[in-house]
Structure 1
Amino acid sequence: MTQALLDAIPDLPKVLLHDHLDGGLRPQTVLELAAAVGHELPARDAEALGDWFQAAADSGSLPRYLETFDHTIAVMQTPEALARVAKEAVLDLAADGVVYAEQRWAPEQHLRRGMTLPETVEAVQAGIDAGVREAAAAGRTIRVGQLVTAMRHADRWQEIAELAVAYRDAGVVGFDIAGAEDGFAPDRHAGVWKFLAEQNFPTTIHAGEAAGVGSIAQAVHLGQADRLGHGVRLMEDVQLSEHDRTAELGPLAHWVRDHQIVLEVCPVSNLQTDAAPGVTTIADHPITRLKELDFAVTLNTDNRLMSRTSMSHEMRLLVAEAGWTIDDLADVTLTAAWSAFMHHDERRALVDDVILPGYQKIEGALR
């Protein structure tokens, strides 16, 4: 059964909530865009460049991991480049069976060659629209929204939040803050969260990746986050007994679970950045324990280029190394679908018309 499930994974419908646009470029695209603007890269062919990105990201340090983005962002500074990267991201996700995705990215990082903030959002949307159309022509249906992100250290949170809200009916589905988590907590610009709440605008916050429960608490209580980017260090507020598999939850862990605040977990990336300190294998990654404890867990890729990953790859690893079943895969997929930043009736249609039939078809074939 395990091998049959592994073989069937590419055909399963997938929902992806945490995927960075500037972390998912094709290596060949990076080469071609870099050549066009004269940006020097650490390798000269696609395979070697892919190797370099993965090796750099495997350092075990989040700051070192983030340095890899210097190269991808450098080649995403024109409308044409942004549109190409966005279109290819949609096509790559659709080819992997993703039926709904949210692409997060920081418009403020793409202004070096004269674009305005609105122009960057419009360029990305043009690419997404083109990718959706091309995927449909190839027989694959996918819906993709933009998650507009503010960089923590750049202190443009309010401006970027206003940009996101301005484009809420033109492709932007939510707001995020990203970058160096430790030292740049949500209270750095407390007013932005009040603004977003007043605008009834969905929010996800990177928290519990490079900082612990204090960061998560601020994201949940001050930021009023609907979802937590990563969130795996919530385990610091959970005491496990390996003897009888019981767990004692602290106040914050109880709050997150009681309110079913969604965890956007990215296993491969988490191992690269040591987001789950001391964990070195997928088998030991806290995603499985968090799911067993009934937290609202979703499965994500984070940065497909740096981690050389995909949704299918993440699923295969969990099946092969952590003993996940098709029911486990269905569980995280349904949680993600019900947590997507779209209206309730749209979520229901995604679940009833796409996710459940897709899983039922595969389950029937596996019997």
Structure 2
Amino acid sequence: MTSQTASVPSPDQISRAPKVLLHDHLDGGLRPGTIIDIARATGYTSLPETEADKLGIWFREAADSGSLERYLETFAHTCAVMQTRDALFRVAAECAEDLAEDGVVYAEVRYAPEQHLEQGLTLEEVVEAVNEGFREGERRARANGHRIRVGALLTAMRHAARALEIAELANSYRDSGVVGFDIAGAEAGFPPTRHLDAFEYLKRENNHFTIHAGEAFGLPSIWQALQWCGADRLGHGVRIIDDIEVAEDGTVKLGRLASYVRDKRIPLEMCPTSNLQTGAATSYAEHPIGLLRKLHFRATVNTDNRLMSGTSMSQEFEHLTNAFGYTLEDMQWFTVNAMKSAFIPFDERLAMINDVIKPGYAELKSEWLFQQTATTSGSAAAGG
């Protein structure tokens, strides 16, 4: 935990720290310039802006507007330019590059294949284009001195009826770049139990899945995702805070669902900036992640939609550092939590923790200590 003498990182150190990302949407992270390029190449003429800087601002303002209609419109534009193999390949490759540039060493990026079929691609062609793009992005990152591994999560939409089909698709490509399954979309009115056949299939196949739950709807959504569907992780899960009571004297009492989530070490894919935009939290300082960290829930830090939120993993950690005084030790704790919760084999997760994450943070802590020693020595010399 934090202390006055603990290693509070600088923005540069946060940027260079190895980070792990479990909740990031491919259609929520495009470069504005790429959207414009693909729109021109494919004849898409409905963009609200045609200059990259202005378009980026439009996406952030639309996401911040408080209007659900404007927020959903942002994804209509990104999905509209992700309908060809070349476009999907480019977007996926750039996603891997951008994450690696930000210090992300492992990422699971999700997307809904059913949303990319408007120009004739099959579900399989969508998955293969994205997988190939991720591999290309990994290669480009290595060429630029960065390392990253990206796994895909195939998402089914809650309001649609293709969950079992997408689950079968995820299982077909589980050894070819796809590491798991997800459902997304509006929680209210579309409970995960509508897709029990998909979850039962994945469990029979010993496959991994996460469920968007506890973002907009609350505790019933979390309960259903865990107890009826058997989710391995909770996408967001921020409303678990509703099952935690904090008395005026600081005494904390966990309800049975919150206790279950903590006791079972169920990972929470928390996305602070996105939660502020959707109203799931009122400020960074009031975000439930602060209390959940203190109570040792398996909380993780994520971006959700980098374009719409105008964010990155480094920016998310900067916000949390400013709000809670988080240190390099806290960053490592969140990062190890995420790596432990990834949908790749245990030995590969362990290797990432021991060979990449822990050495990376050890180096940063040594650097921080050296800087503090030099500053102290310099102050003493000046005082003498």
TM range (shorter): over 0.9
1:187 paired residue number: 193
Unaligned runs of 5+ in 1: none
Change in Cα spacing, 1:19 to 1:80, as seen in structure 2 (3 Å) is: same
1:209 paired residue number: 215
Aligned counterparts, 1:107-146, within 5 A: 107-146=113-152
Following TM superposition, by how much is the alpha carbon of 1:65 offset from its aligned partner in structure 2, in angstroms?
Answer: 2.6
Displaced runs of 4 or more, over 4 A: 1-4, 61-64
1:172 paired residue number: 178
The aligned amino acid for 2:156 is A
**1:364 equivalenced with 2:373 (yes/no):** no
Q: What do residues 49-80 of structure 1 show as CA deviations (whole Å, max 9, x unaligned)?
A: 01110011112355643331000000000000
Aligned counterpart for 1:330 among listed residues 305, 323, 332:
332
Q: Distance in 2 between matches of 1:63 and 1:196?
A: 33
The aligned amino acid for 2:99 is L
Q: Considering only CA atoms, is the larger Rg found in Structure 1 or Structure 2?
A: 2
The aligned amino acid for 1:266 is C
Give the match's secondary structure for 1:218. helix
Q: Distance in 2 between matches of 1:32 and 1:6?
A: 32
Q: Distance in 2 between matches of 1:28 and 1:267?
A: 26
1:98 paired residue number: 104
Is 1:61–1:274's contact at 8 Å kept on the other side of the alignment? no
1:160 paired residue number: 166
Q: Distance in 2 between matches of 1:55 and 1:3?
A: 31
Aligned counterparts, 1:231-270, within 5 A: 231-241=237-247, 243-270=248-275
Q: Distance in 2 between matches of 1:209 and 1:287?
A: 13
Is 1:239–1:247's contact at 8 Å kept on the other side of the alignment? yes
Is 2:23–2:109's contact at 8 Å kept on the other side of the alignment? yes
> Could you state the TM-score of these two structures normalised by the residue count of structure 2?
0.92
Unaligned runs of 5+ in 2: 1-5, 370-384
Following TM superposition, by how much is the alpha carbon of 1:38 offset from its aligned partner in structure 2, in angstroms?
Answer: 2.0
The aligned amino acid for 2:351 is A
Is 1:65–1:273's contact at 8 Å kept on the other side of the alignment? no
Give the match's secondary structure for 2:110. strand
Change in Cα spacing, 1:219 to 1:4, as seen in structure 2 (3 Å) is: closer
> Could you state the TM-score of these two structures normalised by the residue count of structure 1?
0.97
Q: Distance in 1 between matches of 2:338 and 2:9?
A: 24
Aligned counterpart for 2:81 among listed residues 68, 75, 81:
75
The aligned amino acid for 2:47 is L
**1:198 equivalenced with 2:204 (yes/no):** yes
More divergent stretch after superposition (35-44 vs 140-149): 35-44
Count of paired positions? 363
1:308 paired residue number: 310
Change in Cα spacing, 1:65 to 1:245, as seen in structure 2 (3 Å) is: farther
Give the match's secondary structure for 2:332. helix
Percentage of matched positions with identical amino acids: 57
Q: Distance in 2 between matches of 1:214 and 1:126?
A: 38
Is 2:184–2:212's contact at 8 Å kept on the other side of the alignment? yes
The aligned amino acid for 2:259 is H
Change in Cα spacing, 1:4 to 1:344, as seen in structure 2 (3 Å) is: closer
1:28 paired residue number: 33
Aligned counterparts, 1:13-24, within 5 A: 13-24=18-29
Q: What do residues 240-289 of structure 1 show as CA deviations (whole Å, max 9, x unaligned)?
A: 22x3322211111111111010000000000001123xx2x211111111
The aligned amino acid for 1:132 is E
Q: Distance in 1 between matches of 2:69 and 2:178?
A: 28
